[in-house]
Amino acid sequence: MEARLNYVENPVAAKFVKGLVSAARSVTGSGLPASTAQLVEIRASQINGCSGCLDMHTKDAAAAGEDTTRLHLVAAWREATVFSEAERAALELAEEGTRIADAAGGVSDEVWANARKHYDDGQLAALVCTVATINAFNRLNVISQQPAGDYTPGQWG
């Protein structure tokens, strides 16, 4: 598979991707655990069918010490016993935030309240921003058919 668009060579795409990367990094220091952010990025990428992001985020999570069992079970998080209640709340918020068109009104009050039990305002903001940026990256990669499989952990910083 060959990508339809080269983000490095195309000046418009390169500038946009640079901005998205900056936006994604802005949540650093929010208190949201990095492992939770990684799980959210993986789950949204699964829903959106973004192989490039799945390649990147699963490899980066594994390199950061994430347990492979947990990585294999992200898609089935509701039935898996390896996720904390806080992680489950984040994954549920990520799913509803990714599938906005599937539910009138977007993220339900119940899902938001459950996330609020586990995360403070800064962490919630980081969680929402993580969902928003990974969905943007997913759409870029799926539309432009970015290939997956060759990513090396840490390759993009």
State pLDDT tens for residues 116-153.
999 999 999 999 999 999 999 999 999 988 888 787 88
Q: pTM of the predicted model, to two decimals? A: 0.93
Structural domain count of the chain: 1
Q: pLDDT tens digits, residue range 20-60? A: 999 989 988 899 999 999 999 999 999 999 999 999 999 99
Residue 98 pLDDT grade (very low, low, confident, very high; cuts 50, 70, 90) = very high
Residue 39 covered by a domain = yes
Q: CATH number, domain at 18?
A: 1.20.1290.10
Residue 152 covered by a domain = no
Residue 102 is predicted with a pLDDT of 82
Residue 27 covered by a domain = yes
Residue 135 covered by a domain = yes
Residue 139 covered by a domain = yes
Residue 49 covered by a domain = yes
Containing structural domain, residue 73? 11-143
- Per the CB < 8 A criterion, the answer to whether 130 and 41 are in contact is yes
Residue 66 covered by a domain = yes
